[in-house]
């Protein structure tokens, strides 16, 4: 009988599905375990990254199930978004059709890989039953003031007359028509994530089981910094400019102010100038530069003098006001004080425009500041030229100056964050319609809850140019104002798909519930997620939004846990030829072909064996063959001996075993210990699998040695059955088949995980490493538990050791219990 993986995998997949073995419900008598993998985008076909992600999740799910947990292991589809719309434009397929076809294909592929998903809970975010709850959450957030509308900049292609996503801009040009991209200002919807900046930061304390690097990245992204705001009065004007600085100690060295091109005062100042048009053009240029260059390498700092002066409130000095292309409106207050002597960017700007440079910090009381090699002195130091603050150290000065500004009413200590509010508006079709109406009489009116969902119209055309398809869908736009009954216009923006993926894990818990996004009682049973597995590339955006949503939902009284997933496992990328697999590089390996050639079990095994989960995995074409051979060897060790194995009595007397049988039993128990630990504690499946390979080698050796006493087949029977249980979490199909062939009752899936006996795992003879003067020379074998004295004597008698010792004087002996002995001798 040959190992026919096709037949075996097909047989068991059908059986599992027919028996609905992966279905779960809440069971208060059992500990729950929620194993969650990141929501996949249905791009068309499963790729290696998916296989890796889900193979990891499947081992954990199966293991937890076998160790007595009630395991929730769901899957679904992140089914809205740009690619479907692109497909519609290019191939004339409706986004819905394209998406559902892809989901169907990928669903089948996942089935063929034999993952233990609870398919009854499968969700697709593009179904109105799902996205209606995006709309519901939006309305709740709107009520709380967490959703608001504001003008902001977008990429705009003047030829296609359409808004472009960042990824649709290639080298500053439109990806379709190569026209240079310009910027445009649009009213857009935002979520007020900045209100949660401090909590997002603080609650990281709870994330002790997240990778350190993800936490650091999020921390930098939130970018909390402590500084000061200071108000400068504009000379001969009622206007004031508020600036933000982290270095108020350098304020006596402020020789000019720079404000962002979008700053409202810019227009205020230039609008009354005679050459307004020229100035306006220059400012627009600066703004464009600032926007376009935000994703590029460093560029020249440019600016324009606004012909106004501001008064430094600390020394009443009059300093010029400039507009600059490197000051961002969305960070701080959109205005800075420029201290060229102590800030590199300000320094470069001052040099370019010949502005005054004044030194106010020196490194130490002994040294003077020198501006060498065109570098500003940006370290902290001792203040000079700063009136009553002179001779103070920077840190002391910062406190005193903050206080000074505060009591005189022109500033204060301020905390600032880099984190910006989350812009959720998309001028696209294939997204969740934002449930808002515009009424001439009542203004912005939210769609009443009872009218949800606002469903996407089906009959639309996709051209890739002009306004969003929704804006052209007359019957969609036309609505009635729920307040006054007059005609109203429907919002045509749809939501960012990160909204969908911010709460989907809650929908899995009660996927068909229609009275709310989820059933609270069930949520309190399953939440929080016990392990969240996904790619490191989602370290920031998705994982911040996801944490933000949980906090909002806690505030809305919907859930209890402010951190939805206290344990995060970030898997590395699958690399081939030193680069991430991608279509453009042409180094993609198709999992489906591998399943056809080697079977799902082999593929999954190789994904797990090649590297530990958190590391990038180098794809090697030959590796999977090794895994296939490994399964084949298991098959060939059991199948020819099925009769013997089945006939053999289950019990045997441990004390009367032969040496080889004892060896085999010992190896079995050692393997159980290692595999259990590797899966449960270390999550290093590569070493767990290698232990199984070692045990197989021992089994193979014992069989070949042909030492088959009466108890031999009983021992082998136990080893094989326990082997299959361990194997089943990695290669479930072959394990299930062999389990059945061994005439065992029930599915292996329903078996309990096995435990090991420490007494049986113990070695009788152990090797002790012998060093001389710290240098390893040889090992000696001694009975386990031998005393130091016995080990010493055995070592001295050893030929290698005695040769090195000669008649030299042993000064000292260092002994590490049951491990090592180091003889320190005279040279």
Partner RNA sequence: GCGAAAGUGGCGGAACCUGGUAGACGCGCUGGACUUAGGAUCCAGUGCUGUAAAGCAUGGGGGUUCAAGUCCCCCCUUUCGCACCA
Q: What are phi and psi of 593, to 5 degrees?
A: -60, -40
CB 63 within 8 A of CB 73: no
CB 103 within 8 A of CB 42: yes
For the CB of residue 348, give the shortest distance to RNA in the complex, in Å: 8
Give the Å distances, CA to CA, from 179 to 23, 87, 744. 53, 21, 68
Measured from the CB atom, the residue of 239 and 615 that comes closer to RNA is 615
Among 581, 304, 541, which residue's Cα sits nearest to residue 424? 541
Measured from the CB atom, the residue of 233 and 778 that comes closer to RNA is 778
Distance CA 18, CA 513 (A): 24
Distance CA 693, CA 626 (A): 11
For the CB of residue 336, give the shortest distance to RNA in the complex, in Å: 4
For the CB of residue 324, give the shortest distance to RNA in the complex, in Å: 8
Q: How many other C-beta atoms are found inside a 10 Å radius of the C-beta of residue 301? A: 20
For the CB of residue 14, give the shortest distance to RNA in the complex, in Å: 28
Q: How many other C-beta atoms are found inside a 10 Å radius of the C-beta of residue 96? A: 16
Measured from the CB atom, the residue of 445 and 800 that comes closer to RNA is 800
Task: Quote the tokens at residue 560.
Answer: 């209890």
Measured from the CB atom, the residue of 368 and 621 that comes closer to RNA is 621
For 622-674, give the DSSP string: THHHHHHHHHHHHHHHHGGGHHHHHHS-S---GGG--HHHHHHHHHHHHHHHH
Measured from the CB atom, the residue of 91 and 817 that comes closer to RNA is 817
For the CB of residue 374, give the shortest distance to RNA in the complex, in Å: 14
Measured from the CB atom, the residue of 528 and 599 that comes closer to RNA is 599
How would you classify the pairing of strands 361-362 and 303-311? Answer: unpaired
Measured from the CB atom, the residue of 218 and 432 that comes closer to RNA is 218
Which secondary structure element, helix H or strand E, spans residue 726, and what is its range?
A: helix 712-727
Distance CA 100, CA 127 (A): 10
Q: Does 583 show up as a binding residue in the annotation?
A: yes
For the CB of residue 822, give the shortest distance to RNA in the complex, in Å: 4
Measured from the CB atom, the residue of 13 and 676 that comes closer to RNA is 676
CA 556 to chain centre: 26
Largest Cα–Cα separation, the chain: 109
For the CB of residue 826, give the shortest distance to RNA in the complex, in Å: 13
For the CB of residue 617, give the shortest distance to RNA in the complex, in Å: 6
For the CB of residue 688, give the shortest distance to RNA in the complex, in Å: 10
Measured from the CB atom, the residue of 144 and 682 that comes closer to RNA is 682
Measured from the CB atom, the residue of 629 and 646 that comes closer to RNA is 629
CB 737 within 8 A of CB 53: no
The backbone region for 409, taken as left when phi is positive above 0, alpha when psi lies in -120 to 50, beta otherwise, is left
Distance CA 321, CA 333 (A): 15
Distance CA 52, CA 57 (A): 9
Give the Å distances, CA to CA, from 525 to 101, 123, 223, 464. 34, 20, 35, 46
Give the Å distances, CA to CA, from 507 to 264, 496, 514. 44, 18, 11
For the CB of residue 184, give the shortest distance to RNA in the complex, in Å: 20
Q: What are phi and psi of 223, to 5 degrees?
A: 55, 55
Binding residues for ATP, by number, are 583
Binding residues, by number, are 583
């Amino acid at each position: 009988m040959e190992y026919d993986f096709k037949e075996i995998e097909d047989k068991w997949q059908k059986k599992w599905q027919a028996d609905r073995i992966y279905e779960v419900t809440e069971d208060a008598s059992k500990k729950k375990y929620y194993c969650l993998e990141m929501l996949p985008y249905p791009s068309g076909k499963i790729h290696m990254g998916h296989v890796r992600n889900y193979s990891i999740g499947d081992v954990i799910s199966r293991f937890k199930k076998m160790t007595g947990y009630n395991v929730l292991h769901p899957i679904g589809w992140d089914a809205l978004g740009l690619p479907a719309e692109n497909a519609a434009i290019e191939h004339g397929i409706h986004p819905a059709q394209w998406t559902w076809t892809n989901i169907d294909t990928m669903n089948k592929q996942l089935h063929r890989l034999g993952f233990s998903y609870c398919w009854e809970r499968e969700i697709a975010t593009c179904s109105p039953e799902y996205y209606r709850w995006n709309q519901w959450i939006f309305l709740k957030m709107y009520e709380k003031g967490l959703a608001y509308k504001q003008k902001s900049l977008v990429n705009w292609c003047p030829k296609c007359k359409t808004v472009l996503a960042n990824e649709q801009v290639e080298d500053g040009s439109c990806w379709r028509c190569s026209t240079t991209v310009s910027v445009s200002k649009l009213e857009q919807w935002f979520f007020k994530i900045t209100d949660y900046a401090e909590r997002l930061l603080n609650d990281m304390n709870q994330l002790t089981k997240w990778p350190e690097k993800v936490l650091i990245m999020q921390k930098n992204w939130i970018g909390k910094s402590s500084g000061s705001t200071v108000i400068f009065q504009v000379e001969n004007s009622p206007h004031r400019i508020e600036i933000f600085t982290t270095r108020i100690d350098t304020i006596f060295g402020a020789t000019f102010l720079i404000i962002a091109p979008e700053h409202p005062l810019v227009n205020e100042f230039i609008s009354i100038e005679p050459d307004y048009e020229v100035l306006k053009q220059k400012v627009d240029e600066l703004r464009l530069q600032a926007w376009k260059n935000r994703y590029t390498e460093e560029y020249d700092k440019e600016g324009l003098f606004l012909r106004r002066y501001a008064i430094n409130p600390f020394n009443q000095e009059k300093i010029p006001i400039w507009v600059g292309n490197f000051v961002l409106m969305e960070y701080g207050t959109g205005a800075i004080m420029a201290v060229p002597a102590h800030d590199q960017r300000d320094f470069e700007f001052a040099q370019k425009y010949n502005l005054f440079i004044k030194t106010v910090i020196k490194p130490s009381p002994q040294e003077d500041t020198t501006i060498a090699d065109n570098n500003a002195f940006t370290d902290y130091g001792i203040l000079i030229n700063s009136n009553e603050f002179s001779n103070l150290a920077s840190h002391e000065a910062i406190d005193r100056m903050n206080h000074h500004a505060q009591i005189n009413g022109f500033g204060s200590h301020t905390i600032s964050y880099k984190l910006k509010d989350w812009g959720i508006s998309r001028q696209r079709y294939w997204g969740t319609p934002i449930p808002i109406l515009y009424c001439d009489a009542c203004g912005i009116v939210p769609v009443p809850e009872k009218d949800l969902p606002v469903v996407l119209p089906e009959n639309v055309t996709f051209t890739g140019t002009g306004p969003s398809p929704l804006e052209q869908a007359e019957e969609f736009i036309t609505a009635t104002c729920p307040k006054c009954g007059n005609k109203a216009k429907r919002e045509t923006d749809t939501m960012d798909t990160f909204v969908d993926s911010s709460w989907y894990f809650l929908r899995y818990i009660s996927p068909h519930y229609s009275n709310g996004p989820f059933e609270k009682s069930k949520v309190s049973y399953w939440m929080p997620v016990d392990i969240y597995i996904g790619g490191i590339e989602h370290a920031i955006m998705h994982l911040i939004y996801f944490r933000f949503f949980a906090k909002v939902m806690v505030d809305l009284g919907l859930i209890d846990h402010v951190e939805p997933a206290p344990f995060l496992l970030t898997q590395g990328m699958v690399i081939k030829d030193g680069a991430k697999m991608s279509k453009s590089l042409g180094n993609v390996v198709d999992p489906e072909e591998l399943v056809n050639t080697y079977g799902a079990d082999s593929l999954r095994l190789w994904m797990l064996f090649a590297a530990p989960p958190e590391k990038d995995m180098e794809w090697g074409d030959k590796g999977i063959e090794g895994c296939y051979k490994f399964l084949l060897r298991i098959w060939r060790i059991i199948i020819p001996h099925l009769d013997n194995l089945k006939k053999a009595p289950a019990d045997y007397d441990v004390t009367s075993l032969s040496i080889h049988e004892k060896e085999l039993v010992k190896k079995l128990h050692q393997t159980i210990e290692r595999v259990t630990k590797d899966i449960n504690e270390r999550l290093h499946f590569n070493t767990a699998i290698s232990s199984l390979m070692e045990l197989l080698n021992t089994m193979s050796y014992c069989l070949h040695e042909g030492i088959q006493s009466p108890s031999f087949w009983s021992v082998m029977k136990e080893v094989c059955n326990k082997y299959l249980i361990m194997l089943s979490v990695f290669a479930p199909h072959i394990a299930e088949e062999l389990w059945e062939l061994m005439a065992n009752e029930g599915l292996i899936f329903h078996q309990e995980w096995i435990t090991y006996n420490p007494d049986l795992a113990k070695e009788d003879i152990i090797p002790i490493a012998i060093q001389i003067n710290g240098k390893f020379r040889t090992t000696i074998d001694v009975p386990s538990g031998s005393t130091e004295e016995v080990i010493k004597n055995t070592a001295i008698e050893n030929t290698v050791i005695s040769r090195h010792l000669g008649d030299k004087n042993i000064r000292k002996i260092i002994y590490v219990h049951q491990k090592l002995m180091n003889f320190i001798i005279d040279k």
